Amino acid sequence: MNLFVDRYPEEAWIVRAALASSFLALFLGGIMGLIQGLHRTGFLQIVQDSTYYTVLTLHGVSMVLLFTIYFLVGFFQWAVTDSLDRSAEDIRFTKLWYFLMVAGTVMAAAAILGGFTDATNLEADVLYTFYAPLEAHPIFYIGLVTFVIGTWLAGVDWFRSWWAWKKEHPGERTPLRAFMVMTTMLMWYLATIGVAAAILFFILPWSLGLVDSVNSLLTRTLFWFFGHPVVYFWLMPAYMMWYVILPKLAGGRLFSDPLARIVFVLFLLLSVPTGIHHQYVDPGIAEGFKFVAMTNTMFLLLPSLLTAFTVVASMEHGARQRGGTGRLGWLRSLPWNKPAFTGMALAGLMFAAAGFSGMVNAGMNLNYVIHNTLWVPGHFHLTVGTAVALTFMASTYWFLPQITGNGVFSQRLGLVQVLLWFLGMVFMGNAMHRIGLAGEPRRTAEPFYDGVTFDTALGSISELHFQIALGSVILTVSLLLFMAHLFLSWFDVASNPAPDNGVIPEALSGPENAPIVLENLRLWTAIALVLILLTYALPLASIVSANGFFGSAGTLVGTAYEFAVSPFVGVVA
Amino acid sequence: MEIHRYETIWFAASLLLIVGFIGTITYGAVGVGVEMVDDSGGTVDPDNLGSHERFGDTGVHKVNESHYEVNMIAVHPSFIPSEIEIPAGSTVTFYMTASDVTHGFKLVDSNLNTMIIPGQVSEITAEFDEPGEYGFVCHEYCGSLHHEMAGNLSVVPEDEWGGVDS
Amino acid sequence: MNRPSPAGLLVALAFGIVFVVEGRTVLGMLGFELPLSVYFPVAGLLLVAMFVGLLLLPKTNSKQVAGT
Ligand code: HEM
Ligand SMILES: [Cu+2]
Ligand SMILES: [Cu+2]
């Protein structure tokens, strides 16, 4: 009786519910992705051009807010419960945050889906970045906030478990997985200050008509205050799997536990004070601020480079344990027949490729060439769309038995599925990057303009459009296989027994070797706050002093509101 | 804490790479003088562009023999003006702002690229030595006709240039 | 060298396709631009040859540890 579901049935229920929500969003988003891939290349246009943006909003929100974050909360619940080996402090509270997230999702989804029909005044064709003054129905913003509050409470839930555990284990090191969850959640609390402020103080009051206008640059800057660290929120569960599950699957164990902790602390410190790198080409922000963000961004490469080392080293160790030999020959001794392993390894490989295009994005001057071209979606379909998404899907082949008690349907089918995702992304990702270099913009229903031609250095634009369409189709096939396989495994169609392999081995170099100061999360949070203040206080102050909190116009209510709220906002910002 | 020797080497190499990146870009910005979009354009009231000294008068303006200014307003789904003609061999400074929502501007086949944000003025300068045709597009989603928002910049031989918009 | 397992063959094939796709990009960057009608047949044939080559290898008698 080693399976998680047998030890913690109630927590396993939450994990299953979160995963089900997550994959539902993935499925929906994937269908939208296919529509986009075929529409903007001109191969098949089943929606109106104007509806394309509703589709794209649904794709963005489903993928990067719902799919990723639902998966994260499910996975983190497992990580906390399993690694601390204790039940949730109060399972009703656990259910509360999950259902809050669901309530938020329903509201936001209703607003987005309303965009497909004229029957309601609900709509939210604002894409997942909702740059004001593009305006959605207020229920969209309320839904987003509710969803985020749900995640905040989830963090509270896990911190309560951790504090209770510490009381019972004075002087002991926090287990690695719990440590990773806590640092990630702290980062999340800091990051979400940005969107929460943007929505609650500015966008929501404006969409409700309480104030007349918004300061676009201010809400945009607050969005990216959140928008960069959110990518690490997607990535941290994937990193966690590379650190704790991949080495085990490879047949060995993690190389170094202390180094894994250092990596997560670095992410806590550096994730937020980088957001301005999404605004390199924004007017109204002085070059110096952009430069600071760039420097921080470059240093943020460090934890990822360290991760690359650890992951490869742990895999090699595993392969040698399995009898692998030779300089590269050990690669053959890895369990390539296991989709969980193969999927994660391929995801890691794609992430390395994405690292290169990421360096171009991060360079202030190179960014001018590719900003808002299709290069950018090319980049993040390799990061969140593969490094994260493929890791999540792959890990499910290992993870699902832990939380359902059933074995998976077919490892062979799973292998085909992860390979197809990899292939599809190679086609789509490669073509998106190249077409972006030719200047074709992203977020465009019809990149076919009179009098504007895009020339690629080699090949032809039509060849690249074909690659995008082909990639989209392969990806969708992979996704359908995944969903079918998930369904068959979940409902135990093949009645395969669950393998009893839920134990995560200790690292080669264990936690007792880690400097004790790593445990001091208060200290790291305080330093992170100082870094945020250093990078954001001046830019925000200058944006506000140039255009005010609410842009130009002001009504009586608006002015009164401004008067009442601004001192407070000033403190938060 | 014990750290494997390879790990130390990797760590050092990583740091070197990072510092190298920052170094090259600093050199690019300071040494070579690659110009960035920044706050030099100042701010405007997006609701009263008509009476603004610059944006009340959109189009091409001559500063002197070799320097021209282009004042542009982005409003879904067009650029005002969307057809621009300038003489070859000139330096052109673009001033752009938006009267409705956030837009973008990218001159295809160049690295001229900026966001256009209501309330802010984007100022970018470029040199056009040779005659040629350039397309430009709005690269930020701005509404249901976003994909139609584009324009054209013709760089014509000096003697063919038709003069400033009246 | 021994023949890879069926899973290994699948993985090899996937990587083969990736090399074909990216190969064109890389060749282009190096300044060799081949027409589509030349590149893909040649690259495709090479890929098939590689795959057949792998199949011709003697079967393994490897004593790999069973996966977990
Ligand atoms: C079936 C697989 C997928 C296909 C075919 C697909 C296709 C696309 C295409 C063609 C675009 C560009 C649309 C445009 O800019 O006009 C896009 C945008 C995007 N995709 Fe995907 N995608 C897929 C999976 C994913 C996954 C797994 C994620 C993340 C987890 C993701 C996240 C995004 C995001 C964030 C955008 C940008 C949305 C925006 O610009 O507002 N996609 N996708
Ligand atoms: Cu970022
Ligand atoms: Cu636009």
Q: Looking at ligand 1, which atom is closest to the CA of residue A34?
A: 5
pLDDT-based confidence at A555, cuts 50/70/90? very low
Rounded CA-CA distance A508/A283 in Å is: 50
| CB-CB neighbors (< 8 A) of A335 in chain C | 67-68
Residue A131 near residue A223 (C-beta atoms within 8 A) = yes
Tokens, residue A354: 């994405």
Q: Does C61 touch chain A (CB under 8 A)?
A: no
| Tally of CB atoms within 10 A around A112 | 26
For the sheet with B113-116, list strands across it: B83-87, B150-156, B132-137, B103-107, B113-116
For residue B155, the model assigns a pLDDT of 93
pLDDT-based confidence at A451, cuts 50/70/90? confident
Q: Which amino acids of A are annotated catalytic? A: 228, 232, 379-381, 442-443
Does one domain contain both B133 and B60? Answer: yes
Look up the CATH number of the domain holding residue B108.
Answer: 2.60.40.420
Tell me, using a 6 A CB cutoff, whether residue A16 lines ligand 1. no
Query: Phi/psi at B125 (nearest 5 deg)?
Result: -120, 140
Tokens, residue B153: 């910049």
Does one domain contain both B72 and B115? Answer: yes
Segments forming the whole domain that contains residue B144: 39-160
Residue A405 near residue A6 (C-beta atoms within 8 A) = yes
For residue A492, the model assigns a pLDDT of 82
Does one domain contain both B29 and B49? Answer: no
Distance A345 CA to ligand 3 centre (A): 39
Output the CA–CA distances (angstroms, integers) from residue B106 to A436, B36, B94, B115, B153, in the order listed.
Answer: 12, 14, 12, 9, 11
Candidates A282, A298, A513; nearest CB to B18 = A298
In this prediction, what percent of chain B has a pLDDT beyond 90? Answer: 49
Please state which of the four CATH numbers 1.20.210.10, 3.40.640.10, 2.60.120.260, 3.90.1170.50 is assigned to the domain occupying A4-572: 1.20.210.10
Q: Is pLDDT above 70 for A102?
A: yes
Residue B18 lies inside a defined structural domain of this protein: yes
Does one domain contain both B46 and B16? Answer: no
Inter-chain CB proximity A419 and C14 less than 8 Å: yes
| DSSP summary character for residue A452 | B
Q: Is pLDDT above 90 for B47?
A: no
pTM, 2 dp: 0.93
Residue B29 lies inside a defined structural domain of this protein: yes
Mean pLDDT of chain A, nearest integer: 90
Residue B102 lies inside a defined structural domain of this protein: yes
Does one domain contain both B86 and B148? Answer: yes
* pLDDT top residue among A208 and C40: A208
ipTM: 0.92
CA neighbours closer than 13 Å in the CB half-sphere of residue A301:
30
Rounded CA-CA distance A159/A521 in Å is: 12
Residue B166 lies inside a defined structural domain of this protein: no
Does one domain contain both B23 and B51? Answer: no
Q: Is pLDDT above 80 for A557?
A: no
Residue A115 near residue A57 (C-beta atoms within 8 A) = yes
| Tally of CB atoms within 10 A around A171 | 6
Nearest CA owner, ligand 1 atom 42: A385
Instruction: Find the angle CA(A155)-CA(A161)-CA(A162) to the nearest 5 degrees.
Output: 90
Tell me, using a 6 A CB cutoff, whether residue A461 lines ligand 1. no
The 10s digit of each residue's pLDDT in B48-77 is: 888 888 998 899 998 888 899 999 999 999
* Nearest residue to A381 via CA among A392, A389, A373: A389
Rounded CA-CA distance A242/A344 in Å is: 7
Residue B155 lies inside a defined structural domain of this protein: yes
| CB-CB neighbors (< 8 A) of C36 in chain A | 459, 463
Rounded CA-CA distance A467/A475 in Å is: 12
Chains C and B touch (3+ CB pairs under 8 A): no
Does one domain contain both B30 and B62? Answer: no
Residue B165 lies inside a defined structural domain of this protein: no
Does one domain contain both B67 and B145? Answer: yes
Q: How many domains does chain B have?
A: 2
Does one domain contain both B71 and B4? Answer: no
Beta bridge partners of B69: B61, B93
pLDDT-based confidence at B31, cuts 50/70/90? low
| Tally of CB atoms within 10 A around A163 | 10
Does one domain contain both B137 and B109? Answer: yes
Does one domain contain both B22 and B102? Answer: no
Candidates B36, B101, B139; nearest CB to A133 = B101
